[in-house]
Chain A
Amino acid sequence: METHQDRYYLAPPSHWPIVGSIALMLLAFGFVMDLNGMGNGKLVMLAGAGVLLFMLFGWFGTVIRESEAGKYNDQVDLSFRWSMSWFIFSEVMFFAAFFGALFYTRTISVPGLGSGETMLQLWPHYTATWPTAGPGLASKFTPMEAWGIPAINTLLLLTSGLTVTWAHWGLKKNNRTQLVLGLILTVALGMCFLGLQAYEYHEAYTKLGLTLGAGVYGATFFMLTGFHGFHVTVGTIMLIVILFRSMAGHFKPSHHFAFEAVSWYWHFVDVVWLLLFVVVYWL
């Protein structure tokens, strides 16, 4: 009989997927209930989130145990690499929808509203400049300045890209202290970023009058930076997981795909931020 490593590892029947489906059903339905003013929506959502957490711990736990037991051979490792790459590509396309919306409003819809018959018929006094809350809203806001917190955040994220790579070098040289220290630094930088962004949002809402409802500028600003922030949060959680795994002695210099997947994801979040900084904050 051949050993397991010679064969592609095929997972036995598993209940985690159906648990995940139930979780998403509760989450989505609870959210719909809540949005439409039905009483127990938040409770249903909470239940969904609980089931989702249970599923994530269970499913990832299973994968980690299988990995540590040496069940994944090189071919499985390559499968993980392909799939993570294409998953990140799908994330890129998700952000592309919102970047596309930003480019469309800036180059087509806003100039269109401020020129020709559209302007004369609808809002003759509208001057189409960016940033704008649009011709029909009373909302007044101050746009977000690039060279304050956003610039600091850029530095933080770029530095965190370096620290995670430094941690990776440590892992490859089997220098566990460097690995753990690098990851701690990365997590800390990620958290600083999130803290500053929370502060920035607070300022926007309380002092600048910049809200989700502040026309198409507010909508694109908060949706783009918000989804990015959400991805940073997920990335930070993933970093914390591999930090704990590193401290528990997981990963080998030759075999540590989970670490690489998280660092790919972190670099992806970093690149998205650079684009955000340029087209949302700066230009």
Chain B
Amino acid sequence: MDATHAHDHGHDHHPSGLMRWIKTTNHKDIGTLYLWFALIMFFVAGSMAMMIRAELFEPGMQFMHPEFFNQLTTMHGLIMIFGVIMPAFTGFANWQVPLMIGAPDMAFPRMNNWSFWLLPVAAIFLIGEFFLPGGAVAGGWTMYPPLFIQGGMSYDLNIFAVHIMGASSIMGSINIITTILNMRAPGMTMMKMPMFVWTWLITAYLLIATMPVLAGAVTMLLTDRHFGTHFFNAAGGGDPVMFQHIFWFFGHPEVYILILPAFGIISQIIPTFARKPLFGYASMVYATGSIAILSFIVWGHHMFTVGMPAAGQLFFMYSTMLIAVPTGVKVFNWVATMWKGSMTFETPMLFAVAFVCLFTMGGFSGLVLAITPVDIQLQDTYYVVAHFHYVLVSGALFSIFAGAYYWLPKWTGHMYDEKLGKLHFWLSVISMNILFFPMHFLGLAGMPRRIPDYALQFTQFNQIASIGGFIFGASQLIFLIVVLKAVRGGAKATDKVWEGAEGLEWTLPSPAPYHTFETAPMVK
């Protein structure tokens, strides 16, 4: 496949400068936009985390009002989830899915553009909230009533930001599903698809099944706020707990939306650097599907303390634990892939191995929390914070770093700086554990989350966590430097980039030409 082929068809005449990015219908351009957007939002939401850790360095109030602290924790969560992790994965999907299945582009290039360009609107809304009277939303990213119903103007803006991000996700998912189902090259059967494509297909289904439910939930919040409905008000026969049920029907599949693409990325990287095919490919596919299906029947474990019949608690406890089975299948498969492989440890592999170890730890603390009587003790403590940061930072985020290092040479045509990459890895992995590991102890000792002040006995662990946090935050600037350096220049990358790399994307030149696979390749 050569780049010049595209000239026959006239659709590569794209505008230059800013208009290229605004009007683009090219999956690679749009993938790049998603990834830069995610990186910028990463530093925005990350700086909020830095402020949180600064305030928590000592007991008592240091730098801010408690209301502002609550705004920071809320917006840190919302932006990290909807503005960083999800757009970054969508960026990977845009770049990689057509390359991996041998498609000329995404199925709906214009809608693809819209999916991206809705995100800056939502970002303006979310960040703009800080500048409105009363400041940003402060009731936690979960938006629970009655707090959410009592807030000011920024709460309305937040509702519409969620609507817009939901629309973006639904369109993006429809695009990805259609691309995967209908645009595969001849011979690329479903069970030959790279694992990353499979995980995104399943993620996209989770998105179109749950995002509309979230839209419904926040619409009810809006009407309760302004149009006199009583969905979440007991005086009118409603129930604030109902919001939690609807929200977590979305929210629990959402956490798998945040991790399944990560599983996909890791399943691409480990075979490459172990120089062995992925162990148990079919079982990986079925495990991913099982996790997705189970994710719809476990939402109650987020609500053990709000009141629920014992039968309900038992059901949600056991169904939650059941998810450990397919997840365990995946972890064992990754380990078995590495077993007796000729492994090398370039930066993507380092992040992937750290993912396997640390994500598994986050999974174990999740199992601890799944046990209802334990959860009743640990609900809303730092143990929960430790748990979900192990799965989201050393899980989702590390997989994004791994994927970025893995595919940067294919995207930019240049090798990244391996020394700086390794420095980024070691600083991140060490500081991440200094940051989050003590939170387990804090939670077990009873320190509540989302509170800007704490009792004296929690001071030491908080100081350790804060120091880890500052090192982690500073280390991410190294990543920015690595990316910028690779974009600007560096050693020329070969087509295959990695010795053990397999798959269609590695048959293309590096950087991948603007239009690829205009004539579908044959897959044997």
Contacts and interface: CB of A to CB of B under 8 A. Distances in A.
A133 B160 contact: no
Chain B, interface residues (CB within 8 Å), range:
35 or more
Interface in B177-229: 177-178, 181-183, 208-213, 215-217, 219-220, 223, 225-229
A219 interface: yes
Contact of B160 (A28, A82, A213): A28
A90 interface: yes
Interface string A9-48: 0111111111011001100110110011000000000000
Interface stretch (B105-113, B256-264, B377-385): B105-113
B236 to A, nearest CB: 4
A140 to B, nearest CB: 13
A135 to B, nearest CB: 7
A137 B212 contact: no
Contact of B242 (A20, A21, A104, A136): A104
B164 A28 contact: yes
Contacts of B174: 82-83, 86-87, 90
A165 interface: no
A16 B518 CA distance: 25
A139 B163 CA distance: 31
Contacts of A110: 237
A13 B228 contact: no
Nearest to B115: A17
B499 interface: no
A88 B304 CA distance: 33
Contacts of B219: 223
B234 A122 contact: yes
Contacts of A86: 173-174, 177-178, 208
Interface string B105-138: 1011111011001101100110000000000000
A14 B228 contact: no
Contacts of B501: none
A271 interface: no
A105 B230 CA distance: 11
B237 A132 contact: yes
B489 interface: no
Interface string A77-114: 01100110011011101111110110011001110110
B170 interface: yes
B235 interface: yes
A211 B14 contact: no
Contacts of B449: none
Nearest to B241: A109
Contact of A14 (B113, B157, B181, B239): B113
Contacts of B238: 105, 109, 134, 215-216, 219
Given A10-B25, A14-B23, A17-B113, A219 B230 contact: yes
A35 B226 contact: yes
A11 B110 contact: yes
B22 A93 contact: no
Nearest to B124: A25
A21 B229 contact: no
Contacts of A193: none
A42 to B, nearest CB: 14
A113 B237 CA distance: 7
Interface residues of A, number: 66
B228 A212 contact: yes
Contacts of B14: 12-13
B29 to A, nearest CB: 9
Given A13-B20, A13-B24, A97-B246, A134 B183 contact: no
B230 A216 contact: yes
Contacts of B496: none
A217 interface: yes
Contact of B216 (A14, A25, A94): A94
B157 A93 contact: no
A36 B174 CA distance: 35
Given A108-B239, A223-B229, 9 more contacts: A14-B110, A24-B118, A28-B125, A32-B156, A83-B107, A86-B177, A97-B216, A134-B233, A223-B223
9 contacts: A7-B9, A13-B14, A15-B23, A28-B125, A31-B160, A75-B183, A90-B212, A100-B249, A112-B239
Interface of B: 8-9, 11, 13-15, 19-20, 22-25, 103-105, 107-111, 113-114, 117-118, 120-121, 124-125, 152-153, 156-157, 160, 163-164, 167, 170, 173-175, 177-178, 181-183, 208-213, 215-217, 219-220, 223, 225-231, 233-239, 241-242, 245-246, 249, 518
Interface of A: 1, 7-8, 10-18, 20-21, 24-25, 28-29, 31-32, 35-36, 59, 75, 78-79, 82-83, 86-87, 89-91, 93-98, 100-101, 104-105, 108-110, 112-113, 122, 132-137, 211-213, 215-220, 222-223
In the A-B complex, the 4 residue pairs with the smallest Cβ-Cβ separation, listed nearest first, are A97-B216, A136-B235, A134-B237, A213-B228
